[in-house]
Each structure stands twice: as structure tokens, then as C-alpha cells.
Amino acid sequence: MSAPSAAFLDTSVFDGQQYNFASTALKTFIPAAKKAGLKLLLPDPTEREIRRHIHTRAREALEALDTARRRAPFLQKWSSFPKAARPSADNWEVTVVATDEWNAFLREFDVVKLGYEAIALKTVMDWYDRIAAPFGQGKKRKEFPDAFAVAILQAYAEKHGCFIAVVSEDPDFKLV
């Protein structure tokens, strides 16, 4: 088998690292990818999912601060504890901080953003009809973002005649 010339990091990798772009796993991936000359493939549905997860985590973090403020009112006397403010404005600011970290991570790579142009929609619908990975039973039945990402990556590999290293904690990616 040939060495990959590109890599794909699934959303599950970032979820597993809690969107801590300074984690050992993500920090060590950067020089390894550079040394191997890997391009980082970023399908649009994956990027959308990552941005959605960042926004959700920012909201959840602010909710946790509000909960702490209610459960321990003395925290407001702690000079370093964030003051209560407009939730939407705070959420926006926290999301910006997290998004800046995501963008800094991406700047470490030769990123190839991939759209939907090369998808064979019939193939995705065939997977759906057969309940083939990345589709499955229960909540996995609606895995269209993953299916689109897989189809986009497959089209890229075929067009460029290359192998792609897929890094994922989602067991369905092993089944594709």
C-alpha cells in the first residue's frame, strides 16, 4: 500500500480532544503531517459540523458559568470570575475565541477545502437505502453529513489517484 498524500481529521477527533488545539494529540499531529507532506482535506460538511460544535461548546461553557454563579454566589466577589453579561454577546465573544483557535490550527497545514461538486449523489442515496456505513440503525440513520464527507473524500482520492489517511473515533468510518 502506498503512503497517503492527504489526511482527513473527522469531527470526532476534535470532539475527543475537547477542541483543545494545544492538546498533545493535535500538537504532535502538526509536525508529523508536515514531515509527511500531507495536505489536510476539509470537506464542507465536516467544517460546518466543527463550527457548529464550537458554537455549542461556547454556549455550554457560558451556561456552566451561570450555573456556578447561581450555586455559589460568593464567586461574584472573586475578582477573576467573569461578570454576568448579555448571553448572546458573551456567546459571540467566546465563539470568536474558539474559532480563532480553530483557524490558527488550520493555518499550520496546506488545507484543501472540498465542496459538494464531485459527489455522486446516487451513491450516497444507495448507501442510505442499504443502510450501509456511514448510515446505520437508530440515530446513525441520518448521517448525511458523514456520508457527504465520505463521498467527497472518495471523489478526491479517485480524481487525484491518491490515498487519504482518515483519522476518526467514529467506528462507522472503519466500515466505509
The pLDDT tens digits for 148-173 are 999 999 999 999 999 999 999 987 77
- What fold is seen in the domain 6-171? Rossmann fold (3.40.50)
> Is 90's pLDDT higher than 70?
no
pLDDT confidence band for 88 (50 / 70 / 90): low
Q: Which of 55, 53, 88, 83 is nearest to 68 (CA)?
A: 83
> How far apart are the C-alpha atoms of 91 and 99, rounded to whole Å?
12
Percent of the chain with pLDDT over 70: 91
pLDDT tens for each residue of 103-142? 999 999 999 999 999 988 888 888 888 887 788 777 666 6
The tens digit of pLDDT for each residue in 14-73 reads 999 999 999 999 999 999 999 999 999 999 999 999 999 998 998 888 888 888 888 998
Return the exposure string of 3-29: e unless at least 16 CB atoms fall within 10 Å of the residue's CB, then b: ebbbbbbbbbbbeebebebeeeebeeb
pLDDT given for residue 46 in this prediction: 95
